[in-house]
């Protein structure tokens, strides 16, 4: 078989590719196209998050019961240590403090587990990434969605606790929806960011628990920031209260707990909450997209 | 077969001096103790504690529409890695791969989710490949029947971790083969499963070839290469050793392997 003389003789590979309209394999699509592809995989994202959620406790005897038992036990431990032993409830009656603590733990856990699963979204699914084609952002988004569903089921426990301590459903409970939407956007952006970082540096999976714990203690999960920092300069309290985790916790407490009024919220709270969500969702998405063609190497 | 294409030959895949390097964390030779790791971190240098494996070294070739190309070489010679790079799943360290449309890789090692049931895996795999929910629903039964998972009882509703390796491989291949492909790459898929499944897969591959522009086949069976391919690339230690018509290359290869 001798090759017939070809008009393509002498062209470089790049010229030949251009002539026949071939594209670089695995190249990163432009943002707009990427969003479109991602939208095309929405069913995959949803199905994947649901599947992961049910698989999470599939090896445990009690199965899905752990979805609510885990956060409840968590809240119980924090209550024993901070509420009973250390008396961190300063300035709050028990009727306020317990719902305050449980709300804080649940809301913070939502962000925490989104970050933790984000770190492992790419590095823990390399097999899938190397085997099939799909916009890689599907994975961290799907994991963030899984955490949202997890939170929704623990919300039932939260409602029971809040009602049990005398805060009954009223109009302010409607605020739960915008708070969750904003926090979900924030979490997704964060998960995307850490997915890229974790793909490059798997060590983050070891490091992040400490970072997250520090963040938790600084965000007033088990104590009220303005009360505890009353003797410190105002700006310290402001900085801590404006950090995204504290903002979303406080808004959720404000929505749920009757006696937790607007005086506990920092200034411009909704603007800050929206700002964090927008900044992280857009920033995290772009940051993740920038390395799209590099996931899977390693 | 390539000669039957009328007019100028149209390239579908161009590999231009492709190099692929795997980076493996923590596999650096030497002591694995914490102090050794610490001293590696403290030592200046670019990649610390990372071992590089240069799997493909400067491979260039052009594949044309209508060709069926076999890839041969001993284990670890970089065949599967090269296919992954063509599919765009593994970014090359340097060099470029140009392709026409989106090439698809049919592998036996397409990782699925072991903690999920076979049923979920079929659905998720289909959705991840970009099929719509209706398409997945439509082909679901076909995929399960093809895999033959349910021949010995209702296994499809069990988690994949309970499957034997042969069953898992069969299911993976069935999922991947459920879609039509432009440029098709088949990675030793014919070697999995029992004889009956192999026959079914060969049939399916022939079917897929009719729709595909170009087919790549990795196989250690010279017979199946002879049966299906008209051109062969021989890789050895990541380098392209020979590229030519099937018979010529296979003769050299058989001499090399001492058959």
Domains belonging to chain B, first-starting first, are 2-21+60-257 (3.40.50.300)
Q: In this structure, are residues A248 and A179 in contact, taking their beta carbons and an 8 Å threshold?
A: yes
B201 or A217, which is more confident?
Answer: A217
A79 or A118, which is more confident?
Answer: A118
* Distance separating alpha carbons of residues B52 and B107, to the nearest angstrom: 24
Q: Do A20 and B10 touch (CB under 8 A)?
A: yes
* Distance separating alpha carbons of residues A145 and A140, to the nearest angstrom: 9
User: Looking at residue A3, what is its pLDDT?
Assistant: 47
User: Looking at residue A289, what is its pLDDT?
Assistant: 95
B-chain residues near A20 (CB < 8 A): 10-11, 100
* Average pLDDT over every residue of A200-218: 91
A25 or A298, which is more confident?
Answer: A25
User: Looking at residue A85, what is its pLDDT?
Assistant: 82
User: Looking at residue B32, what is its pLDDT?
Assistant: 58
Nearest CA-CA partner of A54 in B6, B102, B117: B117
Q: Which of A26, A28, A42, A296 to mutate to test the interface with B (most CBs of B within 10 A)?
A: A26
* Distance separating alpha carbons of residues B182 and B214, to the nearest angstrom: 7
Q: Give the torsion sign (CA, B151, B155, B157, B160).
A: negative
Write the pLDDT tens digit of every residue in A33-47: 999 999 999 999 999
User: Looking at residue A113, what is its pLDDT?
Assistant: 93
ipTM of the complex: 0.75
DSSP H helical ranges for A57-93: 66-78
* Percent of chain A scoring above 90 in pLDDT: 43
Instruction: Judge whether residue A2 has pLDDT over 50.
Output: no
| Candidate from B23, B90, B120 with C-beta closest to A130 | B90
Mark A238-247 as b/e (b = at least 16 C-beta within 10 Å).
Answer: eebbbbbbbb
Q: In this structure, are residues B250 and B221 in contact, taking their beta carbons and an 8 Å threshold?
A: no
Query: Across the beta sheet with B11-25, what order do the strands follow?
Result: A23-24, B94-99, B11-25, B50-64
B-chain residues near A132 (CB < 8 A): 89, 110, 125, 128-129
Q: In this structure, are residues A292 and A200 in contact, taking their beta carbons and an 8 Å threshold?
A: no
Give the length of chain B: 259
* Average pLDDT over every residue of A91-106: 86
By C-alpha distance, the chain A residue nearest B85 is A25
A-chain residues near B108 (CB < 8 A): none
H or E segment and range at residue B15: strand B11-25
Write the pLDDT tens digit of every residue in A112-148: 999 999 999 998 888 778 777 789 999 999 999 999 9
Nearest CA-CA partner of B213 in B87, B130, B122, B103: B103
Q: Which residues of chain B have pLDDT under 50?
A: 1-5
User: Looking at residue A196, what is its pLDDT?
Assistant: 95
* Distance separating alpha carbons of residues B217 and B225, to the nearest angstrom: 8
A-chain residues near B60 (CB < 8 A): 13
Lowest mean pLDDT among A157-166, A273-282, B6-15, B31-40: B31-40
Write the pLDDT tens digit of every residue in A234-249: 888 888 889 999 999 9
Q: What are phi and psi of B232, to 5 degrees?
A: -130, 135
If 0-12 CB within 10 Å is exposed, 13-18 middle and 19+ buried, where does residue B251 land?
Answer: exposed
Q: In this structure, are residues A42 and A50 in contact, taking their beta carbons and an 8 Å threshold?
A: no
User: Looking at residue A138, what is its pLDDT?
Assistant: 94
Write the pLDDT tens digit of every residue in B1-10: 444 445 567 8
User: Looking at residue A119, what is its pLDDT?
Assistant: 94
Residue B80 makes CB contacts below 8 A (sequence gap 6+) with B107, B187, B188, B218
User: Looking at residue B108, what is its pLDDT?
Assistant: 55
Could you say which DSSP state residue A28 is in? P
Q: Which of A27, A131, A198, A199 to mutate to test the interface with B (most CBs of B within 10 A)?
A: A131
Instruction: Judge whether residue A287 has pLDDT over 90.
Output: yes
Chain B: give the shortest CA distance to residue A53, in Å.
10
User: Looking at residue A141, what is its pLDDT?
Assistant: 96
User: Looking at residue A39, what is its pLDDT?
Assistant: 93
Q: Does B76 touch chain A (CB under 8 A)?
A: no
User: Looking at residue A252, what is its pLDDT?
Assistant: 95
Q: Does B157 touch chain A (CB under 8 A)?
A: no
B-chain residues near A134 (CB < 8 A): 128-130
């Amino acid at each position: 078989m001798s090759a017939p003389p070809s008009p393509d003789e002498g062209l470089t590979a790049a010229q030949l590719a251009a002539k026949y309209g071939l594209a670089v394999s695995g190249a990163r699509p432009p943002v707009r196209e990427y969003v479109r592809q991602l939208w095309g995989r929405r069913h995959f994202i949803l199905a994947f998050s649901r599947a992961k959620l049910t698989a999470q406790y599939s090896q445990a005897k009690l199965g899905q019961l752990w979805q609510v038992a885990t956060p409840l036990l968590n809240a119980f431990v924090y209550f024993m240590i901070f509420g009973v032993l250390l008396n961190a409830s300063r300035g709050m009656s028990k009727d306020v403090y317990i719902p305050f603590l449980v709300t804080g733990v649940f809301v913070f856990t939502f962000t925490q587990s989104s970050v933790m699963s984000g770190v492992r979204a790419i590095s823990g699914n390399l097999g899938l990434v190397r085997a099939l084609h799909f916009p890689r952002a599907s994975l961290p988004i799907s994991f963030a969605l899984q955490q949202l569903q997890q939170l929704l089921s623990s919300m039932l426990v939260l409602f029971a606790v809040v009602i049990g301590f005398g805060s009954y459903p009223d109009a302010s409970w409607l605020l739960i929806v915008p708070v969750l939407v904003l926090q979900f956007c924030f979490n997704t952006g964060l998960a995307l960011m850490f997915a890229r970082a974790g793909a490059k540096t798997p060590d983050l999976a070891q490091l992040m628990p400490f970072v997250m714990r520090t963040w938790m203690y600084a965000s007033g999960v088990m104590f009220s920031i303005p009360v505890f920092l009353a003797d410190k300069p105002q700006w310290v309290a402001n900085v801590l209260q404006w950090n995204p985790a504290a903002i979303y916790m406080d808004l959720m407490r404000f929505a749920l707990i009757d006696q937790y009024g607007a005086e506990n919220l920092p200034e411009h709270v909704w603007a800050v909450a929206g700002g964090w969500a927008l900044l992280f969702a857009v920033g995290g998405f772009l940051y993740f997209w920038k390395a799209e063609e590099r996931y899977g190497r390693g | 077969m390539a000669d039957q294409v009328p007019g100028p030959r149209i390239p579908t895949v161009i590999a231009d001096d492709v190099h692929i390097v795997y980076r493996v964390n923590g596999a650096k030779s030497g002591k694995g103790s914490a102090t050794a790791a610490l001293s590696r971190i403290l030592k200046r240098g670019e990649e610390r504690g990372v071992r590089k494996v240069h799997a493909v070294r400067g491979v260039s070739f052009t594949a044309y529409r209508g060709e069926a190309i076999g890839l041969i070489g001993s284990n670890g010679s970089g065949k599967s890695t090269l296919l992954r790079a063509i599919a765009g799943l593994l970014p090359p360290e340097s060099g470029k791969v140009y392709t026409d449309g989106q090439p698809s890789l049919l592998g036996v090692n397409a990782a699925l989710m072991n903690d999920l049931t076979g049923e979920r895996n079929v659905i998720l795999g289909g959705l991840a490949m970009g099929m719509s929910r209706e398409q997945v629903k439509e082909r679901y039964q076909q995929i399960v029947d093809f895999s033959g998972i349910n021949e010995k009882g209702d296994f499809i509703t069990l988690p994949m971790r309970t499957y034997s390796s042969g069953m898992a491989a069969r299911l993976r291949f069935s999922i991947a083969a459920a879609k039509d492909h432009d440029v098709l790459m088949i990675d030793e898929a014919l070697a999995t499963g029992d004889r009956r499944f192999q026959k079914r897969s060969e049939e399916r591959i022939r079917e897929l070839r009719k729709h595909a522009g170009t087919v790549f086949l990795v196989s250690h069976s010279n017979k199946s290469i002879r049966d299906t391919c008209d051109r062969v690339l021989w890789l050895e230690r990541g380098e392209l050793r020979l590229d030519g018509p099937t018979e010529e290359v296979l003769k050299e290869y058989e001499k090399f392997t001492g058959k």
